[in-house]
Structure 1
Amino acid sequence: MPKEEYVTNPNSVLFKPDGRVYHLELKEGDVAKRLITVGSPNRADLISQLLDKDSVKSFVSSRQFTTFTGTFKGTPVTIVSIGMGSIMMDFMVREYLAITNGPLAIIRIGTCGSFNKDIPPGNVITAKEGSIYIYRNYMHWDGTYNNVDDATAKTLCAEPYFFTKPGKGSDQLQDLMASHFKSTNVPVSEGLNACGETFFACQRREDPSYDDENKGVIPNLTNLAGTGKSIDFCEMETHELFHLAKLSKTPIAAGACAIALVNRHTSGVVGPDQLHQREEECGKACLSALVDLDVSNLKK
């Protein structure tokens, strides 16, 4: 193994000898306490163009995390693209916290499918009501549940998919986001998010090559725990962000919004020009919300 790949502190967040965390390849001083995270490097680059002229420094890690740090209206801000999925959010949040001191504010800007018939493609949805997680029950497919003696546990373990209760982000930060969206007439809704562990099966996309047993996913999402309450949008990263913000011993204010690319009940899809416009509008609103938030006074 090349010398530069050796790591220290192998039982926690991994550091290289020069102080850079292992996957982001950033060190203390490279990032700000206010952060926007996105999936796409192109979206990160677009939002970085909203930062103050000549303030931006960029870096791409060997694991393809793309980072831009600069200022917005004089306030330091970082933008990081992470790719897709909860595991990538886990890498980013834990390593980012390890190279900063004190409270953080993090907003995710993503794209999604709308599950609300009244929220058309092109609208922005914030996760004000929280986020649930949908994940595959691998015990269902490997037969583990056959060896469970307790009847209740056996029934639970037999289900092909699990659905968590909603986890919430920061009301203060998400109220600021919504305020900035509304002040610029961006069509925005405040709703309940769901995150799929996988893109296909957990979001009830049917793949004829696999027996995913996922026909019950959408009914579960449109009648959560028999309450009649439905999710409004679905993607893959928000729940992990909210979950880690809650567990962190350091205060993290977390918010999330997503641009609806499609509506899962109706027709229509966002075109590239409209998506580009919404990405820019989301960037401006979320950067403004981050600047308005007093990060230093965040409490657990």
Structure 2
Amino acid sequence: MFEIDFMSKAASELILNPDGSIYHCNIRPEHLADLVITVGDPDRVEKVSQYFDSIEFQTRKREIVTHTGSLNGKRITVISTGMGTDNIDIVLSELDAVANINLETGELNPIQKELQFVRLGTSGALQKEIPVDSFVLSSHGLGMDGLLHFYEDSLMVRDLDMEEAFYDHSEWDDSKPVPYVVKGSTDLLELLSSDQTSLGITATACGFYGPQGRKLRLVPSPENINDVLANFEFNGHKITNFEMETSAIYGLSKMLGHEALSLNCIVANRALGEFSKDSYKSIDKMIQYALEKLTN
């Protein structure tokens, strides 16, 4: 983890609510477990916490819903982020602050906590052989959103060789943010892997339509982004799926000294033009799978 100075944070930097909770997430240190499950959809928080043995804390502010409870003796926080890496920047930064900064003084805590972040998300497959309703674990996050370039330490956590290979392969348009690549947690990958999961690079876009090659009235640029991604390979790694959060979770987590991994339920296959006939059932299966792996 990199040393960061929080000694003189102004009220405009470390923003708190009147009750002393962090501004957007609306939680205090006692509300946060060391294992954090992130979901995009606020309604999915309850879909996860319904399997807890007990729930000790609940809060909601805007699209950020938080439940903390226990399952099989393991304390877990599940929190919704909303969609996009901009929201991830808020939630990950604030959760780290709750864990590692004295919110009353703004000073860094003498002992730093290492959190585990597990994203349970939905995603579209880019490879024909990955069926809808299956699960993909993200070995790496490929960010096309530009977020990490706003942090000085990003070069220390990025896979620069894979970035260069993708940049050359894609003939990347320099008017767009430079792609970045961050590897996920090896320990969490081992914990969550099984014959029920496949593995690959997850591409993270800054939007749902044009940035992911969807064409309604506006024409995406480039129009063939899905083919560009699907045809990339580096040291045996292929880009398997497209979504909007993973790269930021990986990058911020690694810079802050945390572990992170994404487990994706494939609700669409972009190469085949297919969509799940019962995505809610598949998402529930993913939730149960993850909770069993994380608590047993």
Please, what TM-score do these two structures have when normalized by structure 1?
0.76
CA pair 268-222 structure 1, distance change in 2 beyond 3 A: closer
- Cα deviation for residue 32 of structure 1 reads 0.7
- Cα deviation for residue 157 of structure 1 reads 9.2
CA pair 271-58 structure 1, distance change in 2 beyond 3 A: farther
- Kept after mapping to 1: 8 A contact 2:81/2:87: yes
Deviations 1:147-197 (A, max 9, x none): xxxxxxxxx996454452421110110111114xx4xxxx32111110001
Letter in 1 for 2:211: C
Deviations 1:181-236 (A, max 9, x none): x4xxxx3211111000111111111132x354221422331333899964100000
Are 2:99 and 1:89 aligned? no
CA distance in 1: counterparts of 2:173 and 2:272, whole angstroms: 32
Are 2:240 and 1:232 aligned? yes
- Cα deviation for residue 245 of structure 1 reads 1.1
CA pair 242-87 structure 1, distance change in 2 beyond 3 A: same
Partner of 1:106: 117
CA pair 291-12 structure 1, distance change in 2 beyond 3 A: farther
Partner of 1:126: 137
CA distance in 1: counterparts of 2:224 and 2:281, whole angstroms: 35
Partner of 1:145: none
The aligned runs of 1:139-178 (5 Å cut-off) are 159-162=174-177, 164-178=179-193
CA distance in 2: counterparts of 1:264 and 1:284, whole angstroms: 26
Q: Please, which of 255, 258, 283 is the counterpart of residue 287 of structure 2?
A: 283
Deviations 1:93-113 (A, max 9, x none): 111111124110010011111
- Cα deviation for residue 45 of structure 1 reads 0.7
User: Matched residue of 2:131: which SS?
Assistant: coil
Q: Please, which of 270, 273, 276 is the counterpart of residue 276 of structure 2?
A: 270
- Kept after mapping to 2: 8 A contact 1:132/1:163: no
CA distance in 2: counterparts of 1:110 and 1:212, whole angstroms: 24
Partner of 2:22: 21
- Cα deviation for residue 51 of structure 1 reads 0.5
Structure 2 gaps, min length 5: 1-8, 101-112, 147-170
CA pair 225-255 structure 1, distance change in 2 beyond 3 A: closer
Partner of 2:212: 203
CA distance in 1: counterparts of 2:134 and 2:60, whole angstroms: 31
CA pair 228-97 structure 1, distance change in 2 beyond 3 A: closer
Partner of 2:106: none
CA distance in 2: counterparts of 1:117 and 1:67, whole angstroms: 36
Bigger mean CA deviation after superposition, 281-290 or 118-127: 281-290
CA distance in 2: counterparts of 1:204 and 1:157, whole angstroms: 15
Please, what TM-score do these two structures have when normalized by structure 2?
0.77
- Kept after mapping to 1: 8 A contact 2:84/2:244: yes
Deviations 1:53-89 (A, max 9, x none): x43432111x221111100111110100111000111
User: Matched residue of 1:191: which SS?
Assistant: strand
Letter in 2 for 1:280: D
CA distance in 1: counterparts of 2:200 and 2:172, whole angstroms: 30
Looking at secondary structure, tell me which structure has more strand per residue: 2
Q: Please, which of 193, 200, 220 is the counterpart of residue 191 of structure 1?
A: 200
- Cα deviation for residue 289 of structure 1 reads 3.8
Structure 1 gaps, min length 5: 1-7, 137-155, 293-300
Partner of 2:164: none
User: Matched residue of 2:136: which SS?
Assistant: strand
- Kept after mapping to 1: 8 A contact 2:31/2:68: yes
CA pair 157-105 structure 1, distance change in 2 beyond 3 A: closer
Partner of 1:40: 41
> Which entry has the higher C-alpha Rg, 1 or 2?
1
Number of aligned positions between the proteins: 252
- Kept after mapping to 2: 8 A contact 1:135/1:197: yes
- Kept after mapping to 2: 8 A contact 1:108/1:255: yes
| Identity, % of aligned positions | 25
Letter in 2 for 1:255: L
- Cα deviation for residue 31 of structure 1 reads 1.6
- Cα deviation for residue 268 of structure 1 reads 2.8
